[in-house]
Amino acid sequence: MLDKIFDYLNFHLSIEAAIVLLILMFLEAVLSADNAIALAAIAQGLGDKKLETQALNIGLVVAYVLRITLLLTATWVQQFWQFELLGAAYLLWLVFQHFTSEEDEEHHHHGPRFHSLWQVIPVIALTDLAFSLDSVTTAIAVSQETWLVLTGTTIGVITLRFMAGLFIRWLDEFKNLEDAGYITVALVGLRLLIRVVNEDLVPPQWLMITAIGLILTWGFSQRTQPASVSTETEKTEVSTEVNTEVNVEGLGSRD
């Protein structure tokens, strides 16, 4: 029984397998950055930190099941360009929605607001699935051993949950990070769209990683001024104005 399962998964332990697994883990971690920002920004639409955490936990469990299903049916899915077209359209729609929506001045948040946990979970799962259409192709290109790809995907989802948790906090701290994240989402969407039109025109993976790195560097370049600091600044300015007026009046009375 186990032999049949191992044969189906192409389970073979070797030094090469360990190296390939490390490569898959690295690719999953690097390529998950833009995905993590998108998922964190979507979760922020709940406006409640406790619900945001629950949405990420449940949403990524559903996303993991969808990823595994996609991996096991990847050979079949890749025969239909319509899947990648739908994925590209969905990601580009998210980007359009982000940049055309009004900003929440308190949290600097774009995008839809959600009123319940169960509204946001499907959005998180579908967004991760759309990203997976790009990453699954990369994983299969690195290794044909199913168990390696499944292991890399499992580690990738765990990494994604950790990164999304960090980005939820960082989105409030860095002014440009949310916009930077959605620009990288647009790059992934355009890459999928180009693949549908002509696969020979698809930019290489190293170029995508470099572009994502540069865009995220810009995203972390400017911190958001804390509300307390802003309030103290306003108080100081008002106090200075009052003191100036008093001094001017005092000089006038002396004259």
pLDDT, tens only, 45-94: 888 888 888 999 999 899 889 888 887 787 677 788 888 899 999 999 98
The answer to the question of residue 239 being in a domain is no
The answer to the question of residue 21 being in a domain is yes
pLDDT, tens only, 108-141: 555 667 888 888 999 999 888 888 887 666 555 5
Domain range enclosing 165: 12-227
The answer to the question of residue 46 being in a domain is yes
**132, 67 contact by CB (below 8 A):** yes
The answer to the question of residue 88 being in a domain is yes
Q: Give the count of domains, the chain.
A: 1
The answer to the question of residue 244 being in a domain is no
Cα 163 to Cα 2: distance, rounded to the nearest angstrom:
35
Which residue shows structure tokens 């409640």? 48
> Span 190-206, mean pLDDT?
87
The answer to the question of residue 56 being in a domain is yes
Q: Extract the tokens encoding 121.
A: 């979970």
Is the confidence at residue 27, as pLDDT, over 80? no
Residue 214 pLDDT: 92
**55, 49 contact by CB (below 8 A):** no
The answer to the question of residue 175 being in a domain is yes
Q: What is the pTM of this model?
A: 0.72
The answer to the question of residue 26 being in a domain is yes
